[in-house]
Amino acid sequence: MSTPWLTKDQLTAWLKLQALVELLPGVLETQLRRDSNLTHYEYLVLAMLSEAPDRTLRMSDLARRTNATLPRLSHVVKRLEGRGLVERSASSEDGRATNTRLTEQGWRTLEAAAPGHVRQVRSAVIDALSPEQVDQLDQIADAILQRIDPDRRVYPMLPG
């Protein structure tokens, strides 16, 4: 079977997407570390917990929503727990499972971090685009996510 190589235009678009995927996390991370003493992944963990019922998720569900392995997530949750931002406990439904809950201090930390993070997202991404381009970005992201995350493991709460 022959490989359908990328056209020049497809290659250019792919390389730009690749650059975006590589550069954007650093831009977001720099602002969060500077202003909130959080990594981008720590912020994501807190944000996912904030959107869950009772601000609580099973570690396995939190790992899926943050696209992390359980060992990576456990390490980060332990660090956040040491800072008083989250609490872990055995699940009342399944004693083998562990729940992670956003504490009040974690909620306050997220509330304080969110405005700067949103300003950075607007500055780096949203404000660079016209309203039509934002709609196109939404459609493009949805089309790609349907291919690489068809079961909506990472962001199950997104409208479909």
Along the 160 residues of the chain, how does pLDDT read in single tens digits?
899 999 999 999 999 999 999 999 999 999 999 999 999 999 999 999 999 999 999 999 999 999 999 999 999 999 999 999 999 999 887 778 899 999 999 999 999 999 999 999 999 999 999 999 999 999 999 999 999 988 888 876 676 5
| CATH ID of 23-148, from 1.20.1730.10, 3.30.2130.10, 3.90.660.10, 1.10.10.10 | 1.10.10.10
pTM for the structure as a whole: 0.89
Residue 61 CB burial class (10 angstroms; 0-12, 13-18, ≥19): middle
Strand pairing category for 56-58 and 98-102: antiparallel
In the chain, domain spans: 23-148
8 Å CB contact between 60 and 97: yes
